[in-house]
Chain A
Amino acid sequence: MAGHASKQIDSKTLWGGQMSPFSTSYGKLMMWFFLVSDALTFGGLLIAYGFTRHSCQDAWPIGEETFNSLPFLGHGYPLIYVALMTFILIVSSVTMVLAVEAGHRMDKKGVVKWMIATIIGGFFFVGSQAWEWSHFIHGSEFGKIELEDGSMAIVKGHFGEVENFTIFEAGRHHKVGDQITSDDMDLDHEYRHAIAEGHVENNVITLHDGSKANISKKDNEHMELMIKTDGGERKIGDHIKDHDLAAELYNKTVNAGVKGNVIFGANLEQNEYGPQQYGQFFFFITGFHGFHVFSGVIINIIICLGVIRGVYHKRGHYEMVEKTGLYWHFVDLVWVFVFTFFYLV
């Protein structure tokens, strides 16, 4: 960026009311001021997150334990998905800065090409975030369990799939002896839902229509429990690595038939990952950022249409592209901080 910003101008001319002391147009300066105020909002949110986290101390969830899944591939990939999202956003920031550069050469075709690439990147990011939210809301395969002494634990291991339900007490829809397989319904989902509602007791599931069925399920393997809330015996930080003991404790809780003993996923009242506020901060911070990305995509589309129609070419400069670029880079900048403070540390 050559031009006025780097030119030597004597201070009398510069500050004497003859010109802008910053050598910047009004619009660009106001975009910067808006971004500073927006940065204060995000700074406030992240600092509030830090405050809550420091007051909860060891109970706070750890990013790489909470976010370790990939679409289609399952679990065991800590942070890879968010890293991919970060990469998508960085790349779309690059295409945006290339659009701005093309604008400085009055290269209309270049501006259109790079802006479209930016818009596509933006949609990819918003889509990724939708998956991330869905995954966060639905939760892990095991959920968070409450043990007999009142302590709460998160669970790691391989979930043994549910094979079928065999009805032994008829309800409104199912007859005695019916066998429900994965062709009829999503058995794992049904099983988890029933556990959360307290409808599983001693390996017997009560289905929606009131019928009771025996559960045929493979054993969970490689089970481990990590205590996240103090109880009578077990304390925060305890890690039960004995697979058999962990499986026994888990099955006991699951088969107790008490609603609320096992929590799956997250909503605004409770979540399986950690303290209540964790879910709220997740929804609010990533949601507010996602809203910024979405509005950024919309603004980019509007400006891109302007470029295609030749509005800015006629005007003699592409400063509008530069200004939306500032907003778009800011969104990337915020994500860099969210990535570090929500996921990494």
Chain B
Amino acid sequence: MLRDDVIEYSLDAHHSEEQGKKIRKKIWQVTAILTAITIFEVAVGATIKQSSDYWQVVKWLFIGLTLLKAGYIVLVFMHLGDERKAMRYVILVPYFIFICYLIFIALYEGTALGNIWTLYRA
């Protein structure tokens, strides 16, 4: 194999009927997990109000569950978990570093701006 040829790599993705059965089982398992998480989120969101004392816990729980859902979608449905490690890191690491920075700076600045508006509103 001397060239990066579309057909050669694509043929490698083929699998047999038995392997397919296992893969389908995994897909349905992940479906059940994603559905359960969504139902749980809505149930919690409808019962615990934002004014509640537990809201901070619930908020971080929601964010954690979202990342869990995203992980299942990216790694199983998009098959990134089955790709080479090098490719996985090329896709995920730069994105996460940049996004984390952006979240930090935007929320920090947003809060500061809000405080200034509150201070000088009168």
Contact = CB atoms under 8 A, between A and B. Distances in A.
B82 A6 contact: yes
B77 A25 contact: no
Interface string A316-333: 110100100110011011
A24 interface: yes
Nearest to B60: A345
A344 B65 CA distance: 12
A52 B113 CA distance: 9
B110 A3 contact: no
A44 interface: yes
Which of the four size classes fits the interface of chain A? Answer: 35 or more
B1 A43 contact: no
Contact of A336 (B7, B27, B69): B69
Interface residues of B, number: 68
Contact of B46 (A27, A64, A94, A315): A64
A24 B83 contact: yes
B63 A345 contact: yes
Chain B binding surface SS class: helix
B19 to A, nearest CB: 6
A19 B46 contact: no
A53 B110 contact: yes
Nearest to A21: B86
A79 interface: yes
B46 A25 contact: no
B27 A337 contact: no
Given A54-B110, A329-B73, 18 more contacts: A3-B12, A3-B15, A22-B83, A24-B84, A36-B95, A50-B107, A64-B45, A78-B46, A79-B45, A94-B28, A104-B14, A322-B13, A333-B70, A336-B66, A336-B69, A336-B70, A343-B45, A344-B62
Closest 5 CB pairs of A and B: A3-B12, A54-B110, A1-B82, A51-B110, A22-B87
